[in-house]
């Protein structure tokens, strides 16, 4: 199980890095006025994959670190997975459940 979590952490780190660079660079280009309204969709669509990749990376790395303390990665993985799912569910609700007045 540790090898699988280690591979998951490595893959999710690269996904986190790519989505983070895209999200941050698009927000900087919007702030400078370089991007027009048509490319604004990239900024709005990259926040959830960025959060998802970060939560997967955090869950896998913390589970591996806490597994050395507790002796098994199953209990920390379960606790952190529940926390990550709750955080992502809250982000989904805030993103889709509440209307965004700037996009309407």
Cβ atoms 63, 77 nearer than 8 A? yes
Residues sharing a CB contact under 8 Å with residue 56, sequence separation 6 or more, in sequence order: 8, 12, 15, 16, 84
Residue 35 lies in a domain: yes
Domain that includes residue 38, residue range: 2-97
Domain count, the chain: 1
Mean of all residue pLDDT scores within the chain: 83
Query: What pLDDT is recorded for position 53?
Result: 93
pLDDT level of residue 104 (50, 70, 90 thresholds): very low
In-domain check, residue 92 = yes
User: Is there a domain that residue 104 lies in?
Assistant: no
Decide if 11 is inside a domain: yes
pTM as predicted: 0.79
């Amino acid at each position: 199980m540790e090898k699988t979590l280690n591979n998951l952490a490595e893959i999710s780190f690269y996904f986190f890095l790519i989505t983070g660079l895209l999200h941050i660079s698009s927000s900087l280009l919007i702030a400078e006025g370089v991007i027009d309204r048509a490319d604004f969709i990239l900024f709005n669509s990259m926040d959830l994959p960025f959060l998802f990749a970060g939560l997967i990376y955090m869950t896998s790395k913390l589970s591996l670190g806490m597994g050395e303390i507790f002796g098994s990665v199953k209990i920390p993985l379960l606790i952190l997975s529940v926390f990550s799912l709750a955080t992502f569910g809250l982000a989904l609700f805030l993103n889709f459940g509440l209307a965004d007045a700037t996009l309407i």
